[in-house]
Structure 1
Amino acid sequence: MSKFLYGIDFGTTNSALSIYDEEKEEIVDTISIPSLIYFTETKSSIEGDSHIVGENAIEAYLSDGMKGRFIKSIKQILSRTTFTETRIHNRRYNASDLVTLILKDLKEKADKIIGQDCKKAVIGRPVFFDDDNTMKDTLAQTRLQRAAENAGFSEVRFQFEPIGAAFAYEKSITKKERVLVADLGGGTTDFTYLILDPEKVGSKNRKNDMIASGGIYIGGDSLDSAFMWDKGTPYFGKNTQYEATPGKILTVPKSLFANICTWDKMNFFNGLKIKKDIEDYYYYSGNDPKFKNLITLIENNLGYSFFRSIEKTKIELSDQEVSKFAYSNMEIDIDEEISLAQYNSIIEKDINKIEVYLNGFMDLHKINAEEIDCLFLTGGTSMVSAVQNLFKTRFPHIPLNSGDNFKSVAKGLALSGYLFED
């Protein structure tokens, strides 16, 4: 019977699993799903809590009129000490429980392909789950480890995600190279500088080839949040004024709108007090129609469908000069033309933070740009035009390569079996 190893890239936006046959020394298949969970509005009396994972979760959520609980960007909560649990259908789910549902779905799909119950996995992790905070980093990996065990894996090792991407790239080169890998995902941007050698593919000890690793807590979700703040919130009444007392005109607190710019903060609006405050703002604003959009967004759980429109604009501007930022649902109507220059201006602060971190990373580890043979970019956010321009401008003399932006890491993790040789 063949021995198999799974390389698992649990991502903020998408998750992938690559199946490696350790006897044939080859990757059999790679599967990927969106990192999404949808809990239906009502609990199934037969199957317990009714939940759907991945692409089917999107379809079910939209067909059910966006009711129930829809959960995305779960990876973001792994390092958050403030998140302990959430209650769904009178059952408590902690961070590990939610991640387990996605890992279990991937495992079941892969086990069906090989016809076996695989217990062995190399799981990717960002260099820093939360900006070089050791306590939060340990918490995140502990939660991820528990989720893997709950999903049915008894042998687990962890590998930095950009190293996984590097090993996938290593299979394609013909000579030794010094490579700077940038893995730009939904939640983080990670860097690894290492030596790759086609003659070392599958070698048991690669520690001496790893020169430096680092990362920053900025990714595709950060860019979407910036866009939501700049272009989205005005449609939801960010500048709404209300009459606090007769003759005293105030503007609705900006902090209210910060909570619709990131998915995990949407629960902020579930409290009774904030609901009462929103009703009061609306009434004393003279029933401002744009502020009414905020109430519609919250009460009808439209956050995910709205952010899909933002993401569509981001993707189109990766290879176009102009895109439409459009959304029409329940009297929320947006149809605005966005130029690439406008978009780049909106995300400029985040791109600058990535550049500042990269420069500091190279200075800290004494990496001379002239000695780098190749740049390897992976992750969905690496396709953003401003990101591409950052690396082309910073390293004009170095070839820029990329692999499958959604499967490279998983494939490289599956080639990291040497981690079990300790």
Structure 2
Amino acid sequence: MTRFAGLDFGTTNSTLALSARGTAPALVPMEGDHLTIPSALFFSFEDGETYFGRAAVFEYRDGAEGRFMRALKQVLGSKLMEETTQIGRERWSFEALIGRFLSEMRQRLARHLGSESMPEAVVLGRPVRFVDDNDAADRAAEDQLRAAAKAQGFHHIEFQYEPVAAALTHEAHVTKEELALVVDIGGGTSDFTLVRLSPEAAGETGKRGSDILATSGVHVGGTDFDRVLSIAEVMPEFGLGSWTVDRKRQLPVWYFNDMATWHRINLLYSPKIRRDVDALRKEAEEPAKLERYAHLLDARSGHRLMGAVEQAKIALTDESLAKVALIEPGLRFEQPVTRDAFNTANSELVTRIVGAIDDCLRLASIDKEAVETLILTGGGAQVPAVLGAATARFPHAAVVQADRFGAVGLGLAIDAARRFS
């Protein structure tokens, strides 16, 4: 039996699934029994090894000397793709770094298949928009991801919108025709698709273009919620908003914005930035805050701090109060954060998400009352303000909580089996 592959390379987590024509798709274990793998790499300067996923996160948080990379998907289509970054004694392109991660996923698939033939064709997921309001950069992002995958041995590559893939996963279980809106809030993007689903269509071959009434997307995702929480509640404790001693000006904000942005943190680890922060500390009204910031640079703890921010964000899904805590040699930082403060900080992001949902309805010329099913997927869909805004817009729709991290990968495998078999 020939099986076909669907690969969801995500900002935060990635999955890979297999499916054969007429059979249910299944996620491939990527890390022990885990069906997802964090989209992270750690280049160890201690043993020369490259670690992936949870192992990469562990090495970094354990304080091993090396270079940690995460949220590489957000670099696609940006100016950073034209640059290289120093890792040990070598300079790497970001396309090569993405390819290194995809190569590891392919190797793990090969080990899972054993003697079974390795699929060379794959359907890759893509957001509706890699880059907002720039069609050329959006096309470039897809081309860059295709090139990275092709270099690792995937010779026949097709793309499918991630929310469409999530809809295909749900469609396998529908018993009647329904008009569904897929709300996919991923790590880096939010995507929306209005699609007509039915038991009959579930067995059809092809791209189902006539059933997809509209798609829309916006470059807002889970890492953006991390960023706004950090800027609002954490970075002020490291100097954001501080004044100089003479009270004539505030400290430059970009140092703190970059420290709160997952894929820009590594760019701060340079001698020049360290000298800049030393100079700022000498003229700052609150030098102790800049000393905390300097610690993040010296210990390369920026990602560890953002990991603590991310954990607080997740905790606020169920709790009204959480804590951002980073305790390590040289720094003891504990900052309480409330759900109300988080909601206030992310209000602009939620407004952009709601606006993209309305765009999707407008493009399809559909009233919100016509939506029968609301399919929610992606970790960001669990953010209370997002969940509340989405469900309030469609009070009469049935709400389906799809597999937060696996629905897209499973749908991509379904799509692959239909396209390639």
Pair 25,38 (structure 1): closer, same or farther in 2 beyond 3 Å:
same
Shift of 1:97: 1.2
Report the secondary structure of 1:251's partner residue: coil
Kept in 1: contact 2:11–2:39 (CA 8 A): yes
Pair 379,5 (structure 1): closer, same or farther in 2 beyond 3 Å:
same
Report the secondary structure of 2:244's partner residue: strand
Structure 1 residue 80 and structure 2 residue 78: aligned?
A: yes
Report the secondary structure of 1:11's partner residue: coil
Take 1:201 and 1:415, find their aligned partners in 2: how far apart are those partners?
Answer: 10
Deviation digits for residues 148-169 of structure 1 (CA, Å, limit 9, x no counterpart): 1122211211100000000001
Deviation digits for residues 338-362 of structure 1 (CA, Å, limit 9, x no counterpart): 2222211111111111112222332
Report the secondary structure of 1:259's partner residue: helix
Structure 1 residue 6 and structure 2 residue 8: aligned?
A: no
**Counterpart AA for 1:69:** R
Shift of 1:270: 4.0
**Counterpart AA for 2:127:** P
**Counterpart AA for 1:220:** G
In the TM superposition, what are the counterparts of 1:44-123 in structure 2 within 5 Å?
44=48, 50-63=49-62, 65-84=63-82, 85-115=84-114, 116=116, 117-123=118-124
Shift of 1:279: 1.2
Structure 1 residue 35 and structure 2 residue 36: aligned?
A: no
Pair 240,164 (structure 1): closer, same or farther in 2 beyond 3 Å:
same
What does residue 141 of structure 1 align with?
142
What does residue 32 of structure 2 align with?
none
What does residue 47 of structure 1 align with?
none
Structure 1 residue 174 and structure 2 residue 178: aligned?
A: no
**Counterpart AA for 1:153:** F
Deviation digits for residues 81-104 of structure 1 (CA, Å, limit 9, x no counterpart): 343222323333222211112222
What does residue 233 of structure 2 align with?
231
What does residue 373 of structure 1 align with?
372
Kept in 2: contact 1:188–1:216 (CA 8 A): yes
- Superposition TM-score, scaled by structure 1 size: 0.92
RMSD: 2.0
Take 1:251 and 1:190, find their aligned partners in 2: how far apart are those partners?
Answer: 37
Deviation digits for residues 36-73 of structure 1 (CA, Å, limit 9, x no counterpart): 000112573xxxxx31111111122233x142110000
Shift of 1:26: 3.0
Take 2:336 and 2:282, find their aligned partners in 1: how far apart are those partners?
Answer: 32
Structure 1 residue 128 and structure 2 residue 129: aligned?
A: yes
Report the secondary structure of 1:12's partner residue: coil
Take 1:66 and 1:237, find their aligned partners in 2: how far apart are those partners?
Answer: 27
Take 2:364 and 2:201, find their aligned partners in 1: how far apart are those partners?
Answer: 24
**Counterpart AA for 1:372:** V
Take 2:401 and 2:110, find their aligned partners in 1: how far apart are those partners?
Answer: 29
**Counterpart AA for 2:126:** R
Deviation digits for residues 72-127 of structure 1 (CA, Å, limit 9, x no counterpart): 00000011134322232333322221111222222222222222322121110001
Take 1:227 and 1:250, find their aligned partners in 2: how far apart are those partners?
Answer: 24
**% same residue:** 29
Pair 190,333 (structure 1): closer, same or farther in 2 beyond 3 Å:
same
Deviates more, 1:410-419 or 1:164-173: 410-419
Take 2:133 and 2:2, find their aligned partners in 1: how far apart are those partners?
Answer: 36
Structure 1 residue 242 and structure 2 residue 241: aligned?
A: no
Shift of 1:248: 7.0
Gaps of 5+ in 2: 29-34
Take 2:346 and 2:315, find their aligned partners in 1: how far apart are those partners?
Answer: 15
Shift of 1:286: 7.3
What does residue 222 of structure 1 align with?
224
- Superposition TM-score, scaled by structure 2 size: 0.92
Pair 286,217 (structure 1): closer, same or farther in 2 beyond 3 Å:
closer
In the TM superposition, what are the counterparts of 1:176-325 in structure 2 within 5 Å?
176-205=177-206, 206-243=208-245, 249-285=248-284, 288-325=287-324
